[in-house]
Structure 1
Amino acid sequence: MKSDTMQKPHDRMAEYLAADMAAVNTLIRDRMASEHAPRIPEVTAHLVEAGGKRLRPMLTLAAAHLCGYDGPYHVHLAATVEFIHTATLLHDDVVDESAQRRGRPTANLLWDNKSSVLVGDYLFARSFQLMTETNNMRVLAILSNASATIAEGEVLQLTAAQNLATDEGIYLKVVRGKTAALFSAATEVGGVIAGAPAEQVQALFDYGDALGIAFQIVDDLLDYQGDTGVTGKNVGDDFRERKLTLPVIKAIAKADAEEHAFWTRTIEKGRQQDGDLDHALALLRKHDTLSQTQADAVAWANRAKEALNTLPDHDMREMLRDLADYVVARIN
């Protein structure tokens, strides 16, 4: 990733899609308004305007453009995707008891848990209103199924996150649910609204699925070796929150009896003490699980790029290819 162009393909996409993204942002601001409950736009604006990359709605717009669509409903679908994403973030921060999101205090910290949950519910409802305006039952099925899959993935994570029996297969189910489901829905509906052939719609789904998995694996990896100034998270937050992510799952699979006892005490039982994070990092290095996790992320990014091969030759296809590379380049 030598050039700046290659490093930040999402910036190139944002420039290419600037007019559409402006329409999406206008629609989001319009639909997050509430005549009777002023707290709704307050809470929503805090998160929506916090400077996120708007990656998921951009994927919807990109897929629609790639398949030759010229509007207007790709804007509705992109706004729908962002509302679903924002709703899940509001709920996640309550579940995780998070204090920071995108480098700012979370909504549940500034207001309260009740406001975060209820405003998240409102945004889910708004997303369904938006998607019905396309009058496309297939789009409605894809996005409603994705919403259910996201919730299912979050519940599965609750039961799996602190259970040392959680293996890579269960981890992948969690990631497919809580992260990849919205990526794949975002790309798939772009193709559907454009009336693309079945093989192109499937390719867009496969791209979003693989990209979302790579994205989450990298996020989990950055928790153990990221730059706090870049990620907005403290190194070891997942360890302190007793989340079983891929680097730790790989280390547990190779653990001897003493190491297994350490993971049982710190993750399953939550009895953490000074020096435990350093010891956990030492075990990850001992078993080389950080580089193995990175290799898994690269493999999924490559699968995303391969899925693009059946899609039309288009500037956007190359940006999506570069985006897959950039997702894993964040590790460096």
Structure 2
Amino acid sequence: MNITIVTKPHDRLASALSEEMAAVDRLIRARMHSDHAPRIPEITAHLVEAGGKRLRPMLTLAAAKLSGYQGEHHIGLATAVEFIHTATLLHDDVVDESEKRRGRPTANLLWDNKSSVLVGDYLFSRSFQLMVETGSLRVLEILSNASATISEGEVLQMTAATDLRTDESVYLQVVRGKTAALFSAATEAGGVIAQASETEVKALFDYGDALGIAFQIADDLLDYQGDSSATGKNVGDDFRERKLTLPVIKAVAKATPEEHAFWKRTIEKGQQEDGDLDQALALMAKYDTLTATRRDAEAWAKKAQAALTALPDHEIRDMLHDLSAYVVSRLS
């Protein structure tokens, strides 16, 4: 009897790009080294080697390969993308006062906030060095713009997350900043370095943008209905951290005056009591906002798939198509 082993889309993508990813891993280790500050590789290794999927650098490699690239600059670009991502995680954990990341203690908990912030700054600097080495001013523009957008998104989230006036348009702006900007930059830069046509570069950008939005919406939904052993987070962490994500925004929009007072107390004022999470979940159930949020994630995944139609017929394109479907299938 033949047994077919079905792997997840990102695993298939990792397998197809295994040689390139191995080169990225080697470059990550080489560039996170510091002769003068051993804490830099210690902290970076703690996060980089924590078992993450390396999805963002894989997207850069996939876009370059799909576009027929034959050079080596995509390795440096993918490494730059991973360094930007790692730097933002280090900074985020300090801002959020997080104690767990991917099921492990955060760097700021094991070391301290100052070290996390400074090592994050170091990785941003390293990423810019790698961008410059490509010799492409356009690639430098794409990734530097993404870095600025990510920071802007984080600052916007800091002010919008506990403000009940935050609506779905502001939420989307935050998501585009803190998540989708790096996805779209990763795919766009891969196409640019391969000198793909403008139509294909635009398609790669659109794919990364929609995939990133679907990914973040799904992540926000998993916070309320996910398996904590799989996500590495406790159910309701976003509620406890007073983060206005899409399921809550949808519930606030439909709230009665009494329900609005509940959200104001728990989210805006942060006066949370035992049983409040259950009450929040009950209100989301009342207005079926988890289902509505899932539909939004699925719609963005479909937009990502639609963008791929402008790209060459290739096994990598098929994997990217399946990846966008998988992002929301995690919600099953």
Which band: TM-score by shorter chain? Answer: over 0.9
Aligned 1:304-323 pairs, distance under 5 A: 304-323=304-323
2:158 is matched with 158
Q: Share of identical aligned residues, percent? A: 75
- Give the Cα–Cα distance (whole angstroms) in 2 for the partners of residues 72 and 164 of structure 1: 48
- Give the Cα–Cα distance (whole angstroms) in 1 for the partners of residues 156 and 94 of structure 2: 16
Aligned-residue offset at 1:160: 0.2
Residue 227 in structure 1 maps to residue 227 in structure 2 = yes
1:108 is matched with 108
Residue 66 in structure 1 maps to residue 66 in structure 2 = yes
1:172 is matched with 172
Task: Output one character per residue of 1:49-101: Cα deviation in whole Å (capped at 9) or x when no partner.
Answer: 00000000000000000000022000000000000000000000000000000
Moved over 2 A (4+): none
- Give the Cα–Cα distance (whole angstroms) in 2 for the partners of residues 280 and 8 of structure 1: 33
Aligned-residue offset at 1:307: 0.1
Secondary structure (helix, strand or coil) at the match of 2:52 reads coil
Task: Output one character per residue of 1:261-309: Cα deviation in whole Å (capped at 9) or x when no partner.
Answer: 0000000000000000000000000000000000000000000000000
- Give the Cα–Cα distance (whole angstroms) in 1 for the partners of residues 135 and 62 of structure 2: 21
2:267 is matched with 267
Task: Output one character per residue of 1:133-190: Cα deviation in whole Å (capped at 9) or x when no partner.
Answer: 0000000000000000000000000110000000000000000000000000000000
Task: Output one character per residue of 1:188-218: Cα deviation in whole Å (capped at 9) or x when no partner.
Answer: 0000000000000000000000000000000
Aligned-residue offset at 1:129: 0.3
- Give the Cα–Cα distance (whole angstroms) in 1 for the partners of residues 97 and 61 of structure 2: 33
In structure 2, stretches of 5+ residues that fail to align are none
Residue 55 in structure 1 maps to residue 55 in structure 2 = yes
Aligned-residue offset at 1:40: 0.2
TM-score, structure 2 as length reference: 0.98
Secondary structure (helix, strand or coil) at the match of 1:84 reads helix
In structure 1, stretches of 5+ residues that fail to align are none
1:288 is matched with 288
1:81 is matched with 81
1:12 is matched with 12
2:92 is matched with 92
- Give the Cα–Cα distance (whole angstroms) in 1 for the partners of residues 44 and 72 of structure 2: 24
- Give the Cα–Cα distance (whole angstroms) in 2 for the partners of residues 278 and 137 of structure 1: 51
2:299 is matched with 299
Q: CA RMSD in A?
A: 0.8
- Give the Cα–Cα distance (whole angstroms) in 2 for the partners of residues 31 and 269 of structure 1: 43
- Give the Cα–Cα distance (whole angstroms) in 2 for the partners of residues 8 and 114 of structure 1: 38
- Give the Cα–Cα distance (whole angstroms) in 1 for the partners of residues 38 and 61 of structure 2: 30
2:185 is matched with 185
- Give the Cα–Cα distance (whole angstroms) in 1 for the partners of residues 97 and 148 of structure 2: 22
- Give the Cα–Cα distance (whole angstroms) in 2 for the partners of residues 59 and 174 of structure 1: 21
2:213 is matched with 213
- Give the Cα–Cα distance (whole angstroms) in 1 for the partners of residues 247 and 103 of structure 2: 24
Aligned-residue offset at 1:103: 0.8
- Give the Cα–Cα distance (whole angstroms) in 2 for the partners of residues 281 and 296 of structure 1: 19
Residue type matched to 2:200 in 1? Answer: Q
- Give the Cα–Cα distance (whole angstroms) in 2 for the partners of residues 120 and 176 of structure 1: 21
Aligned-residue offset at 1:4: 6.1
Aligned 1:199-210 pairs, distance under 5 A: 199-210=199-210
- Give the Cα–Cα distance (whole angstroms) in 2 for the partners of residues 141 and 153 of structure 1: 18
Residue type matched to 2:285 in 1? Answer: R
- Give the Cα–Cα distance (whole angstroms) in 2 for the partners of residues 62 and 283 of structure 1: 42
